[in-house]
Amino acid sequence: MRWLLVCALLAGCGSDAVSDAGVPPTDAPSAPDAGPAEEARLDFGPDPLPVGEERTVCVVLDAGNEVARQVRGLRTHLPAGSHHMILYRTDDPLSATPTPCFPFADGGSAFFIAETVEASLRYPPEAALAFRAHQHVRIEIHEVNYQDVPLDVRASVTFEFDALDAPRAAPVQFLFTGDMTLSVPARSASTATSFHVVPEGARIFGLTSHTHSLGVYASIHRATSAREFTELLHEADDWANPRLDLFDPPLVLTPSEGLRLSCEYENPTDRDVSFGLDFADEMCFLWAYYY
């Protein structure tokens, strides 16, 4: 069931489900040196996680902004006990108690995924993420405890707001896509390669990849098909700490181009591994931030 939910919703992950209503109009005055005027921090946890347990849980918190704001950037902290954290804008009611949930399947518009202990992203000057007044933010945590002691899972995200009088910026968008047909036979190596279309005219300023622990190398190329590719845009050889590559100026593909994603695996176990949401399964995804 979870696989079907992810499949059904992947195509919509880049959509902007929250309107920009209430954002300052385009002709709003701005100071020449207008920058982040303030910050807002949201905290998850502590959420007790017993030894050997794995689960995905969500909370929905109020960002605390009294009026509509534009987010200029964000920082996340994700210590031991979590594999990744996904952030969404949502209309769901507030709920501070961690509750079981499914990735991309419980409402909201995803806008950031953290997969390292410390992560940050600052948007280009001409782009921003729109927050309604008292924006509800869904924090989704994939918790996993393979240590020999219980853990208290914690995480946080800090938003940097633009000045109130800053002009309206282009809305930041999020593309999430990948290969769900991958197969990694027991005691062997394998590669999953796929081609992905991006929205025409997208100005990509951030790009990264994602696998689980059998992944030994991932790459993303500018390409016209899975077999015809040119410029290397991203590579990662540490599945637990993949790099987020930033582009300044933003990367703009031609109408005939897309992104070629390739993930290489080595499986030393006696178990065949395929796509799945659990940590013992595998993944081959990319995501891009663009406007």
Alpha helices per DSSP H over the chain: 2-10
Q: Where are the alpha helices (DSSP H) in 142-259?
A: none
Q: Judge whether 109 lies within some domain.
A: yes
Asked which of 169, 186, 202 is the last residue of a domain, the reply is 169
Under DSSP, the state recorded for 3 is H
pLDDT of residue 37: 61
Residues of the chain scoring pLDDT < 70: 1-37
| Residue 21 within any structural domain of the chain | no
Q: Under DSSP, is residue 255 helix (H, G, I), strand (E, B) or coil?
A: coil
Q: How much is the pLDDT for 80?
A: 77
Identify whether 84 is part of a domain.
yes
Task: Give a yes or no: residue 29 inside a domain.
Answer: no
Kindly report, residue by residue over 247-281, the tens digit of the pLDDT.
Answer: 999 999 999 999 999 999 999 999 999 999 888 89
Burial class (CB in 10 A: 0-12, 13-18, 19+), 54: middle
Last residue of a domain, one of 105, 140, 169: 169
Cis status of the peptide bond prior to 100, with omega within 30 of 0:
no
Tokens of 150: 């219980």
Domain shared by 60 and 165, yes or no: yes
The answer to whether residue 244 is domain-embedded is yes
Integer Cα distance of 194 and 211 in angstroms: 14
Residues 196 and 130 in one domain: no
Structure tokens at 138: 């869904």
DSSP 34: -
Q: Please check whether residue 7 lies inside any domain of the structure.
A: no
Q: Any idea what the Cα angle at residue 10 is, between residues 79 and 161, rounded to 5°?
A: 50
Do both 39 and 90 map to the same domain? yes
Closest of 25, 174, 187 to residue 86, by C-alpha: 174
Quote the number of domains for the chain. 2
Please check whether residues 163 and 178 belong to one and the same domain: no
Q: Which of 169, 202, 218 is the last residue of a domain?
A: 169
Is the residue at 114 inside a domain? Answer: yes
Q: What is the pLDDT of residue 22?
A: 37
Residue 160 shares a structural domain with residue 185: no
pLDDT tens across 31-76, in order? 344 444 699 999 999 999 999 899 999 999 999 999 999 999 999 9
Q: Is there a single domain that holds both residue 156 and residue 215?
A: no
pTM here is 0.85
CATH code where residue 258 lies: 2.60.120.230
Res 268: pLDDT: 97
Domain that holds residue 182: 173-290
Tokens of 43: 């905290």
Query: Does residue 158 share a domain with residue 70?
Result: yes
Residues 185 and 257 reside in one and the same domain: yes
User: Whose structure tokens read 């709003």?
Assistant: 28
